[in-house]
Amino acid sequence: MKSLGWRRGYVNNRKKSMKSSEIGPEYNSVCMAAYNGERYIKKQMDSILSQIASDDELIIIDDGSSDNTTEIIKQISDPRIKLVLNEKNLGVIRTFDKAISMASGRYIFLTDQDDIWTEGRYKLMLDTLKRQNVLLVTGNLDTIDSNDNKSDVCIGKVHAKDSSSYGKNLFRIFTGRAYYYGCAMAFDRKLKNAILPFPEGIESHDLWIAMAANYLKSNAHLDDIVLLHRIHGKNVTDMNRPLKAKLKTRVIMFSMLKTLKERRVRGV
């Protein structure tokens, strides 16, 4: 019961704070984890920098690339770019944890290194966060191949009509039927208090973030396509994992929910 009180208090306090003039900085942050992305990263950066505001920040953390990824980033002269080099390889989840921790903007967008933002994505998601006064917004994606051609790989979608179906969304997360992808997310910086640091052992920061927003009853889905997600040999997910691995994931998720219930959100 104590944790439920925390949840109600969190949402109520958040709504009150949004009415205040003290709502944080006016600029926003984009967080990218990079690793050996020399082939596609410039095109992705161009699609981002062409949309975000002049005082926003694009935080790129390179996780020990052995190719020319960092050199390509450094060649782009733009004050909005903040490049950070990991001293050792942390993996994608810990790298995103670090990037989100560093983000100081009012709203935070997540992005992969090899995708392409669709035109208008930034404004659409930003407007939705503000208009609906939610902590998290998630859109959908189309897939492309290594040559930017439409791919025949189909990925499940989120639906706007299910935005407030918090219990159903959580159930779908636990049963592996929720289509939340970090590369199609943007969230209010207040959500950082609930999601950081990422719990040890999690396999998906995307689902952890979605779990937190649905648990806090502050979530929005878009029917719109906000991303062209690139499918290539280095990022194809194994969809046919053994039963033992799937069961392990479910156990970890229940542990994640317990972690979320036990956390106390401060500074809201």
CATH number at residue 153: 3.90.550.10
Query: What is the C-alpha to C-alpha distance for residues 71 and 6, in angstroms, rounded to an integer?
Result: 46
> Is 268 contained in some domain?
no
> Is 130 contained in some domain?
yes
Q: In terms of pLDDT, which residue wins out, 151 or 259? A: 151
Confidence bin at 238 (pLDDT 50/70/90): very low
What is the domain count for the chain? 1
Query: Cβ of 86: how many Cβ atoms within 10 Å?
Result: 18
> Is 140 contained in some domain?
yes
> Is 80 contained in some domain?
yes
Look at residue 213 and give its three-state secondary structure. Answer: helix
Whether 36 has a pLDDT exceeding 50, the answer reads: yes
pLDDT tens per residue across span 205-235: 999 999 999 999 999 999 999 999 999 876 5
Range from 11-15, 126-130, 133-137, 175-179 carrying the lowest mean pLDDT: 11-15
pLDDT tens per residue across span 54-63: 999 999 999 9
Query: CB–CB of 136/209 below 8 Å?
Result: yes
Of 48, 51, 45, 58, the residue nearest 99 (C-alpha): 58
Which pLDDT value is given to residue 128?
A: 98
Q: How far is CA 45 from CA 16, 58, 76, 120, in A?
A: 36, 9, 9, 15
Q: Kindly state the tokens that stand for 217.
A: 């009853």
Confidence bin at 252 (pLDDT 50/70/90): confident
pTM for the model:
0.87
> Considering the chain, what is the average pLDDT of its residues?
88
Confidence bin at 249 (pLDDT 50/70/90): confident
> Is 24 contained in some domain?
yes
> Is 267 contained in some domain?
no
> Is 206 contained in some domain?
yes
pLDDT tens per residue across span 116-140: 999 999 999 999 999 999 999 999 9
Query: Cβ of 241: how many Cβ atoms within 10 Å?
Result: 12
Query: CB–CB of 114/232 below 8 Å?
Result: yes
> Is 178 contained in some domain?
yes
Of 254, 149, 159, the residue nearest 211 (C-alpha): 254
pLDDT tens per residue across span 76-93: 999 999 999 999 999 999
Whether 152 has a pLDDT exceeding 50, the answer reads: yes
Q: What is the pLDDT averaged over residues 240-262?
A: 75
SS (H, E, C) 101-142: HHCCCCEEEEECCCCEECCCHHHHHHHHHHHHCCCEEEEEEE
Confidence bin at 18 (pLDDT 50/70/90): very low
Structural domain that includes position 69:
2-262
